[in-house]
Amino acid sequence: GSGSKLGREYPVRAFRLGGPVELAWLLDYIPDSNGEQQRLEGLMRKSRLSLAEAKEKYPDWYERRIVKKERRGRWTVKRDLYDWWLHRIADEIRVGHRFYGIMTLAIYAKKCGIDEDELRRDAFALLRPYDDMSVEDINRFTKDDVVCALEMFNEDYVTFPRDDIAKLSGLTMPVNKRNFQRQADHLEIARAIRDIKAKQQGKKDWREGNGRPKGSGTAQVRVYEWRQQYPEGRKADCHRETGLDPKTVRKWWDCPPPAVCFENGHITVQVSPSQELSDWLLDALHNGGQE
C-alpha cells in the first residue's frame, strides 16, 4: 500500500514466499573469510540472554538501562565532524546514494549535538541540487526522501558503524592513524618527515610550489558573473552554459569574489556603481585636469 518511487498512484505490492527461516541457516550464505560469521554469531549469543539472566549477570547494566531507563552512555563529538560530512555529501555524493547521504548527516548531527532545526535547514538545502542530479523522472529526489532520511536523527543510531556509512554513502572514510601516539608527538614526526622530503627535492621551504595554481580563481569569477546575468538560474544551467565542473559550480555558488584582489602586480577593487561614486570620480578627474 505504500507509495513507490513512481508516485502514490503506483502502490507497492508485497508477496509472501515460503516460511520463516532460522538465523543459523542464513549464516551459511555469509562468507567467513573476513570474520563476518563469527561476529554475527557473537551478536546472536548476546541477544539470547533473557532479562532475568541479564539482571543476574549484569546487575549494574540492568539497573541503569532497565530500571532507570537510561540511554547508552556516549560522548558528544565536536561539530567539525558534522560540517566536514555536510561539505562532502554536498560535493561528492552521486545518484543512488543521495538518500543515504542525508540519512548519515542526521546520524552525525545527533552524534555532534547539532540542533534539529539546523539539521533540517541543511538537509532541505540539498534537495534542489540532489534533484538536479536526476537523469530520469523515476529517480527524482523529493521532499519525502528528505523527511524519511531525517528519521535517523535518533539517539539509537549514534553508534552506526563507520564502515557501514561508507558503503551506504559511496564515500571513502579513511581512518586517521597515529600509531597510538599523542597528537603533538605524531605531528612533530610528520613535520620532520615533510621537511626532510622538501630538502631532498632541493627546496628551501616546503611551501615552494604549493598553493593555488595560477588562474584557478577565474572559476569563482565566472560563476559570479553568470549569476549576475541570470539571477534566477540554477546550478545545472550554469554547469551547461559555462562548462565548469558541477562540483566547482556548487563550491562557488554562494561565494562572490573578494572585493580586493592582487594579481600580476596589480590591485583590483570591486565597487558597486552609484550616483555618489560617479560624481566623486568626475570631480576627481576634473580637479586632476586643472592641475
Local confidence band at 271 (pLDDT 50, 70, 90 cut-offs): low
- pLDDT one-digit tens code per residue, 102-127: 999 999 999 999 999 999 999 999 99
pTM: 0.47
pLDDT for res 264: 55
Dihedral angle of Cα 208, 211, 215, 218, to the nearest 10 degrees: -170
**What 3-state class would DSSP assign to 9?**
strand
- Number of neighbours of residue 14 by Cβ within 10 angstroms: 7
Q: What is the mean pLDDT of the chain?
A: 82
pLDDT for res 291: 43
**What 3-state class would DSSP assign to 231?**
coil
pLDDT for res 266: 58
| 150 secondary structure, DSSP code | G
- Answer yes or no: are the C-beta atoms of 84 and 97 closer than 8 Å: no
